[in-house]
Amino acid sequence: MQIQSGDIVFVLNPNSGNALHPRQLTAMCRAASEQAGHQACVVATRNPGEAADAARAAHDAGAAAIFGCGGDGTLSAILQGLPSGSPTALGAVPLGTANVWAYETHLPQTPLAAVTAQLAALDGLRGESMWIDTGRVWSTSEDGSAASQRFLLMASWGLDAAAVNGIVGSARRTRLKRMLGEPAYFLSAVREAIGRQAWPVAVSIDGAAPFVVDAAMLTVGNTRMLGTWLEVNARATVVDGELDMLLVEGAPWRALALSPFARYGWLPHGPGVTSLRFQHLELAPMREAPPIQIDGDPGPATAYAIDVEPGALRVLCPNPTAAVLGG
């Protein structure tokens, strides 16, 4: 992998649900970069670890930007390799199932238009590059030491994570995801909610005394949307130096019952439904550890804390007036 200073690096995930043929995608990335006056370096990856390695190499070489060609999971994999505060900007070529980051930031949905618009933002022609917050999930590794994983969009415990884990853990449901797209997650959530009890957890916010709740779902959002159709953190922006939490108490079916309201941004708040902002959260299971997902992939069962990283990531924003960007 030969990356030069100022290059535009494209990380290709050939397993993305809507991926173009790698040869077509490579040719498109090179042509769009050359038209904008940049040199392209295209890296095909086989797993998230290789995407993280490519991001480290891009940072070390002083690449101007690195694009994730895939879904939100591809962006998350790249994020693990970019050090906090790296000047290498993150871009997206939306080829996944949901493409939540592209949806929230109003990126063009076709690959060529998305790349062209973001390169214009990089060069200051239209839009801009912005420094945004990220989240970091802390967990305990096998040897007892602390480990961490960054996230761009959202982490959650409870029903949402059970639905994600259910799809990843089943070849049949993975095929259903490819056929149906996002509705496959809703079907998985319905299945996971049947007969499940709440997860008792102790939660501490910004160093305050912990409180114990029976959680159906606890989401921590850097952004607003759960997928592209449930607005669970309506006030969230990625430039406020905080993360947004939604806690639904009771049996998991209660979280499921709220989904029609979240679909249209009418999520009610009151007894058993709490929203707040924070910088540091700690969570401890009282019995069975609730499942966790991080940016749409299963997370470690030993996760115990989440921190915000203010202004830690440079991203390309053709439309900086998008609400999640503080516009």
Domain 135-311: top CATH class? mainly beta
- Size of the chain in residues: 327
Q: Is the pLDDT of residue 19 over 70?
A: no
Going by CATH, does the domain composed of 8-126 fall within 3.30.390.50?
no
Q: What is the residue extent of each domain of the chain?
A: 8-126, 135-311
Q: Whole-prediction pTM value?
A: 0.92
Res. 174 pLDDT band, cuts 50 70 90: low
Distances (CA, A) of 175 to 28, 168, 243, 319: 28, 10, 33, 34
Helix or strand or coil: residue 179?
A: helix
Do residues 133 and 199 make contact, with C-beta atoms less than 8 angstroms apart?
no
- Give, rounded to a whole angstrom, the gap between the first and last alpha carbons of the chain: 38
The Cα-based distances of 189 to 32, 137, 164, 266 in angstroms read 40, 23, 8, 20
Question: Strand locations in the chain, DSSP E?
Answer: 8-12, 40-44, 65-70, 89-94, 128-140, 146-151, 154-158, 199-205, 211-221, 225-226, 230-231, 243-249, 273-278, 280-285, 292-294, 297-298, 303-317
Residue in 251, 245, 248 with CA at minimum distance from that of residue 272:
248
Q: Are 65 and 27 in contact (CB under 8 A)?
A: no
Which tokens in the block code for residue 51? 């995407």
pLDDT(41) > 80: yes
Radius of gyration of the chain from its Cα atoms, rounded to whole angstroms:
19
% of the chain beyond a pLDDT of 90: 73
The Cα 186–Cα 104 span in angstroms is: 20
The CB-side HSE value for 174 (13 A sphere, CA atoms) comes to 9
Lowest mean pLDDT among 268-272, 277-281, 306-310: 268-272
The yes-or-no verdict on residue 181 having pLDDT over 90 is no
Q: Cα–Cα distance between 135 and 308 in angstroms, integer?
A: 5
